[in-house]
Amino acid sequence: MFIDKAKIFIKGGKGGNGAISFRREKYVAAGGPDGGDGGKGSDIVFAPDDSLSTLIDFRYKKKYIAPDGEPGGAKRCFGKSMEPTVIKVPRGTVVKDAQTGRVLADVSDEPVTVARGGKGGKGNAHFATPTRQIPRFAKPGFPGEKFDVTLELKLLADVGLVGFPNVGKSSLISVVSAAKPEIANYHFTTITPVLGVVKRGEKSFVMADIPGLIEGASEGVGLGHEFLRHVERCRLIVHVVDVSGIEGRDPKEDFEKINHELANFSEELAERPQIVAANKCDLASEEQIADFQKFIEDRGYPFFKISAATTMGTDALIDAVMAKLDTLPPVKRYEAQQLTLEELAAMDEQKHSFTVTKQDGVYIVDAEWLAPILSVVNMEDYESLQYFQRVLRSSGIIDELERQGIQEDDLVSIFDFEFNYVR
Ligand SMILES: Nc1nc2c(ncn2[C@@H]2O[C@H](COP(=O)(O)OP(=O)(O)OP(=O)(O)O)[C@@H](O)[C@H]2O)c(=O)[nH]1
Ligand SMILES: [Mg+2]
């Protein structure tokens, strides 16, 4: 089965907690603190795998939780950091945050880290100062990032074949590449996209054959809409039209209807360069061909008459496609878009739950939802800092600190961030 969309939950491992421990040596009554740091939690990494062609695996497994880092130990022993957890996906899979729709990664080239594991917490060995010689606290590990994500496969192809059902798209790819799609005289023979490599001497490009589109496809009527996703990245569209009208349709109308579908899907797709391949010329009269050619050329598109059945004209078409590709930018990659602070804050359902504990005069705030915010807040930046302060206030953390009797200049510790309290 071809599945090109999925929704899963991913979570990076939590960092290991720092250890609270004191040296024990012979003849030394109370040694100094020697609690080691926790290890880093495992990252969730998406890696392209060319042996995969669908997202079907994600129908059955929907949760990916990476292992936590190990806690620190006595004698300044570091907890073990965890290796990344790799999720293999077909090349061309785009990972989006389900809530905001923002692109987190385009897994088309290198493996990409999407949910970072948390840093380990520092052990109490770090916290001895001249005035605090017996620190009885250590830092907890950071939580891992977590997201509900959608996975969408958007094939990586230079050229996309689009057209009505049964116009001969699969026939065309089968004569210009080694691809062997099913070809038959009924609509929607092709139900999953097929890639073919078209070679000419040293050069080659990738062509995608997708199921035929019908009117209303962009509103999700029948097959088609979903499949346009697979031509979204294409640099060039080859628009295949049945010029013979053998099924009783008018090629000019077909051409306009398909373009309408492309435009409804996205403006970008409507503006993609197009070459028109008038197919089934072996069944069409000279007048039919000439009439359609004029119609197409009047609209400024390059026109090629072909017959996929006899291969007439297919070489000339491929030469023109190659020449055009030389002038076009490479296959599109989607840029990752960072989530804003507000989006991060809105994300966690246990938003605003926290604990404040006081140890050795330090107010320790533990609030899992603050970790991702802290990792992007820039304390040097006024606006960023203001935002952070607003969050502390609106979540009730400041009130709780005051309730516990915090004084001007007392130390507040949130994960590995520390600041002196100012009224
Ligand atoms: N006479 C003639 N028949 C053709 C030509 N090209 C394709 N056909 C026939 O048209 C029918 C449909 O061809 P396909 O290649 O399966 O068409 P398609 O556009 O991939 O169709 P869908 O996958 O259903 O969208 C088959 O019976 C082909 O043999 C051609 O140039 N001339
Ligand atoms: Mg087909």
CB atoms within 10 A of CB 249: 14
| Alpha carbon of 241 to ligand 1 centroid (Å) | 11
DSSP state of 352: T
Report yes or no: 325 and 158 within 8 Å, Cβ to Cβ: yes
Both structure tokens of 122: 């520092």
- Looking at residue 352, its amino acid is H
In angstroms, the CA 216 to CA 230 distance is 18
pLDDT of residue 117: 95
Lining ligand 1 with CB less than 6 A are 163, 165-171, 183-185, 187-190, 211-212, 279-280, 282-283, 307-309
In angstroms, the CA 376 to CA 368 distance is 14
In angstroms, the CA 88 to CA 47 distance is 5
How far, CA to CA in Å, does 417 sit from each of 33, 78, 319, 362? 21, 20, 61, 12
pLDDT of residue 304: 98
Instruction: Give the position, in ligand 1's atom list, of the atom nearest the Cα of 182.
Output: 16
Instruction: Walk me through the domains of the chain, giving residue ranges and CATH numbers.
Output: 1-154 (2.70.210.12), 159-325 (3.40.50.300), 344-423 (3.30.300.350)
- Looking at residue 222, its amino acid is G
Say which ligand is closest to the CA of 188. Answer: 1
- What does DSSP say about strands 274-279 and 194-200: parallel, antiparallel, or unpaired? unpaired
Say which ligand is closest to the CA of 308. Answer: 1
Give me the tens of pLDDT residue by residue for the chain, a chain 423 residues long. Answer: 678 899 999 999 999 999 988 888 777 666 789 999 999 999 999 999 999 988 988 988 899 999 999 999 999 999 999 999 999 999 999 999 998 999 999 999 999 999 999 999 889 888 887 777 778 778 888 889 999 999 999 999 999 999 999 999 999 999 999 999 999 998 888 888 899 999 998 899 999 998 888 766 556 555 556 788 889 999 999 999 999 999 999 999 999 999 998 998 889 999 999 999 999 999 999 999 999 999 999 999 999 999 999 999 999 999 999 999 999 999 989 999 888 877 776 766 556 788 998 887 889 898 888 887 787 777 777 877 887 888 888 888 999 999 999 998 898 988 878 888 887
DSSP state of 138: -
Closest listed residue to residue 279, CA positions, set 189, 397, 170, 373: 170
- Nearest 10 degrees: Cα torsion 181, 185, 191, 197: 30
Instruction: Give the position, in ligand 1's atom list, of the atom nearest the Cα of 209.
Output: 20
pLDDT of residue 238: 98
Q: Which residues contact 137 (CB under 8 A, 6 or more apart)?
A: 20, 124, 127, 359, 360, 362, 364
What value, to the nearest 5°, has the Cα angle with vertex 200 and ends 199 and 201? 115
Tell if the pTM clears 0.75, that is, is over it: yes
Say which ligand is closest to the CA of 241. Answer: 1
In angstroms, the CA 26 to CA 311 distance is 91
pLDDT of residue 83: 97
Report yes or no: 208 and 155 within 8 Å, Cβ to Cβ: yes
In angstroms, the CA 241 to CA 213 distance is 12
Report yes or no: 301 and 276 within 8 Å, Cβ to Cβ: yes
How far, CA to CA in Å, does 265 sit from each of 22, 168, 208, 256, 422? 65, 23, 18, 14, 54
What value, to the nearest 5°, has the Cα angle with vertex 387 and ends 340 and 142? 70
- Name the residue of 162, 164, 166 to mutate for ligand 1: max ligand atoms within 8 A of Cβ: 166
In angstroms, the CA 121 to CA 291 distance is 74
Residue with tokens 């078209």: 198
pLDDT of residue 189: 83
pLDDT of residue 170: 96
Which residue has the least CA distance to atom 8 on ligand 1? Answer: 168
Report yes or no: 341 and 377 within 8 Å, Cβ to Cβ: yes
Closest listed residue to residue 151, CA positions, set 105, 201, 211: 105
Residue with tokens 């579908």: 261
CB atoms within 10 A of CB 255: 23
